[in-house]
Amino acid sequence: MQRSTMLWTLVMVVAAAFLIGRTLQGEGGRGSAYVRVVPRAVDEDHPEGRWQGVERVDPAEYWRAQAADPAQTAVRWSPANTVGIWLAALFTLAVLSFLAGDNPVYKVAESILVGVSAAYWMVVGFWEVLVPNLLGKLMPGVIQAWALPGLEAEPDLSYLVPLTLGVLLLWRLAPRGAWIGRWPMAFIIGVFCGLRLVTYIHADFLSQIRNSIVPLVVMNERGFAFWDSVRNVLTVFGMLACLVYFFFSIEHRGAVGKCARAGIWVLMITFGAAFGYTVMGRIALLAIRLEFLFDDWLWLIDPNNRRVVDGATALLQSAGIL
C-alpha cells in the first residue's frame, strides 16, 4: 500500500471513529427523530380523524411532552425517521469518501442512489401521470372508486389518442416491428420543436433585441443618471463586441479585430462570473450537508434552537429521567 493511501485511510478511520463515538457516547438521542400523531380526514362523523398520520417535531417538543406526562404517546420517538437520519448521514459520508479516491463504499452509495431515483420516477410517473392524466380521463368512475376519491369528471375519449401513441412508443421493445415506435417519437419531436421554436423566437430572440435597445444617456427626475448610463453603455457595448467576435464573415483585423478582442474579454468576464456563481452553489451544497451532519445527526450545533428546552425539562434530562 502506498504511503499516502495509508495516511488518508488512517485519517478517514479516525474521523469515522470520532463520528460513531460521538453518536453513541453521553446522553442518548443523537441522530434521533420524533413525531407527533395527527388525525387525518377529520369530519363530523370522525372528529378524531378516519386514520392517523405523523408529523415531524423537534426533540424539544418531545422532551416537553415527556416532562408534562411521561406516559403520553402523542409525541414519540420515530424509529423510521431515525433510521432515515442515520442512512442519510452514512450515505453522505460514503459519497464524500470519493474525494479521497474511488472506493467500494462510494460505488454502493452511487448505485443505491441511481436505483432509488429510477424507482421513484417510475412510481411518480404512474401515480401522477398515468392514473390522473390518462386513466382518470378515460374511465373516471373506475379511477374514482379505486384510487382518486376526489376525481369528478366525465369520460373523455379523445385521450385514446395519447393512449395509442403510448402503446406505439412501447412497441420499440417488441422483437418485431420496432420501427412503429418512430411514429409517436416523430410526433413528440415535432410538437416540441414547434413549441420551442416559437417560444425561443419570442422570449429569447425578439425580446432580447428589444431589451438591448436602451438609452445610452439616462435622464431621470433628478437629471443625469450617471450609473444607469454606465450600465446601459456597458450592456450595449458588451453585446455588440460579443456579436462581432462571433461574426466570421469579416477577417478579425484592425478595428474589427480590436472589437472582437474586446468581445473575448466580455465573454471571459461572463464565464468568470458564471464560475463564481457555480462555486457559490457548490459551497452551499457542502454547507447544507455538513449542517445536516452536525445538527440533525451529531447534535454538535443547534442553529434553529430545536433542542432548546425550559429549565425543568433540562433538569429532568440531566438527571437521566428523560
Residues that bind other proteins (CB under 8 A): 4, 8, 55-56, 99-100, 120-121, 124-125, 128-129, 132-133, 136, 148-153, 195, 199-200, 202-204, 207-208, 210-211, 270, 273-274, 277-291, 294, 300-301, 303-305
- Cα 99 to Cα 130: distance, rounded to the nearest angstrom: 41
- Cα 304 to Cα 289: distance, rounded to the nearest angstrom: 16
Residue 9 or 317 with smaller CB distance to other proteins: 9
Residue 130 or 250 with smaller CB distance to other proteins: 130
Hey, what's the cell of 252? 478579425
CB of 18 to other proteins, least distance (A): 13
Hey, what's the cell of 206? 425578439
Residue with the three cell numbers 379511477: 143
Residue 170 or 279 with smaller CB distance to other proteins: 279
CB of 140 to other proteins, least distance (A): 9
Cα-to-chain-centroid distance, residue 6 = 36
Amino acid at 266: V
Let me know: does 184 contact 165? Beta carbons within 8 Å.
yes
Pairing of strands 34-40, 75-77: antiparallel
CB of 182 to other proteins, least distance (A): 21
CB of 81 to other proteins, least distance (A): 14
Amino acid at 198: V
Residue 185 or 203 with smaller CB distance to other proteins: 203
Residue with the three cell numbers 438527571: 319
CB of 135 to other proteins, least distance (A): 12
Residue with the three cell numbers 419531436: 189
CB of 5 to other proteins, least distance (A): 10
Residue 221 or 251 with smaller CB distance to other proteins: 221
Which residue, 85, 93, 62, is CA-closest to 286? 93
Hey, what's the cell of 207? 425580446
| Neighbouring-strand partners of residue 52 | 39
Residue 123 or 312 with smaller CB distance to other proteins: 123
